[in-house]
Amino acid sequence: MNDRITTKTIKNMKHRGKRIVELTAYDYPSAMLADEGEVDIILVGDSLGMVVLGYENTLHVTLEDMIHHTKAVVRGAKKPLIVTDMPFMSYQVSKEQALENAGRLIQDGGAHAVKLEGGGRMVETVDFITSAGIPVQAHLGLTPQSINELGGYFVQGKTDKAARKMLDDAKALQDAGAFSLVLECVPEDLAGLISNELKIPTIGIGAGRKTDGQVLVFHDLLGYSRGYLPKFVRRYENLADSIKNAISGFSEDVRNGDFPGEEEIYKIKNLDLSELMRQMKLEEEISD
Ligand code: KIV
């Protein structure tokens, strides 16, 4: 039986008042564990550029990176809907370019839907992609691919004018066929207003408690990274320290000669190496 979550399931969840759980994952084990942890949507986010590939922002991620990581995620997760981010400059040039690259994420990567960032200027593109049968998750508020335009990772929609524009953009993206909308770093009340006004579900990240679902970055949730952590993240684990401690233990044991121990070696009962050693000694004597 195929019990894969679909975009239809996700839209219905809003109408049934069921909160949607979305989490990023970037490879086979993270996808497998996200599936076991019962998330509804896995986002192969372009945040992979920062948390996995070590870039300073998401602008360096390529379409090939996204396809490569999506393939691994698809192999690891059987139930969640898999949404892949369209990376910077893979959809901004023209709507034709956007459709072609969205198609590659579906056809070559195996994603079920794509996500792209931006409001008004992206509406026509979302319409073009969804008209070809590819589901789109839209993304408003703090859109990290526009970091150079925004000037930093700040809360968005802080003035009446900016709030109005975000609401209008959200409605336009819904009308263009987006099946859901990510709201990143948005005041709680504005995110709540947008969520009430839309028929499609909103998924918040730093957008408070009134959205239809929540998304977090895998590494943030698990403490699998070092450095700055945004206010909106809740850390459920401290993997970085656990992993570091485990590796330090291994280093120490190898250096002390404590690894491998008696239980970690192969011993074959009837293996007798004395004949082999006798032959080697003979060979040595002949060559002298
Ligand atoms: O790339 C990403 O991880 C994202 C989430 C922060 C929504 O876009």
pLDDT tens, position by position, 75-89: 999 999 999 999 999
Entry pTM: 0.95
- Asked whether 73 lines ligand 1 (CB < 6 A), one says no
- Asked whether 85 lines ligand 1 (CB < 6 A), one says yes
pLDDT tens, position by position, 193-214: 999 999 999 999 999 999 999 9
Active site residues: 184
- DSSP 8-state class, residue 122: G
- Asked whether 47 lines ligand 1 (CB < 6 A), one says yes
Of the chain, the end-to-end C-alpha distance in Å amounts to 72
- Asked whether 195 lines ligand 1 (CB < 6 A), one says no
Which atom of ligand 1 lies nearest, measured to the CA of 117?
8
| Residue to mutate (ligand 1; options 21, 27, 41, 46; most atoms within 8 A of CB) | 46
Distance 270 CA to ligand 1 centre (A): 58
Which atom of ligand 1 lies nearest, measured to the CA of 203?
7
Burial class (CB in 10 A: 0-12, 13-18, 19+), 136: buried
pLDDT tens, position by position, 93-127: 999 999 999 999 999 999 999 999 999 999 999 99
Banded pLDDT at 288 (limits 50, 70, 90): confident
- Asked whether 117 lines ligand 1 (CB < 6 A), one says no
CB 5 within 8 A of CB 41: yes
Q: What are phi and psi of 265, to 5 degrees?
A: -125, 160
Checking if the pLDDT of 1 tops 90, the result is no
Nearest to 175 by CA among 206, 131, 227, 240: 131
Q: What are phi and psi of 115, to 5 degrees?
A: -120, 140
Distance 172 CA to ligand 1 centre (A): 21
Q: The domain 7-241: what is its CATH number?
A: 3.20.20.60
Distance, CA of 17 to chain centre: 25
Q: What SS3 class is residue 192?
A: helix
Residue 108 CB partners (closer than 8 Å, separation 6+): 67, 71
- Asked whether 134 lines ligand 1 (CB < 6 A), one says no
Q: Report the length, in residues, of the chain.
A: 288
What is the C-alpha separation between 23 and 39, in angstroms, rounded? Answer: 7
Which atom of ligand 1 lies nearest, measured to the CA of 115?
8
Which atom of ligand 1 lies nearest, measured to the CA of 22?
7
What is the C-alpha separation between 254 and 174, in angstroms, rounded? Answer: 58
What is the largest distance, in Å, between two alpha-carbon atoms of the chain?
Answer: 94
Distance 145 CA to ligand 1 centre (A): 10
Residue 224 amino acid letter: Y
What are the residue boundaries of the structural domains of the chain, listed by start? 7-241
Banded pLDDT at 182 (limits 50, 70, 90): very high
What is the C-alpha separation between 194 and 168, in angstroms, rounded? Answer: 9
pLDDT tens, position by position, 216-259: 999 999 999 998 899 999 999 999 999 999 999 999 999 999 99
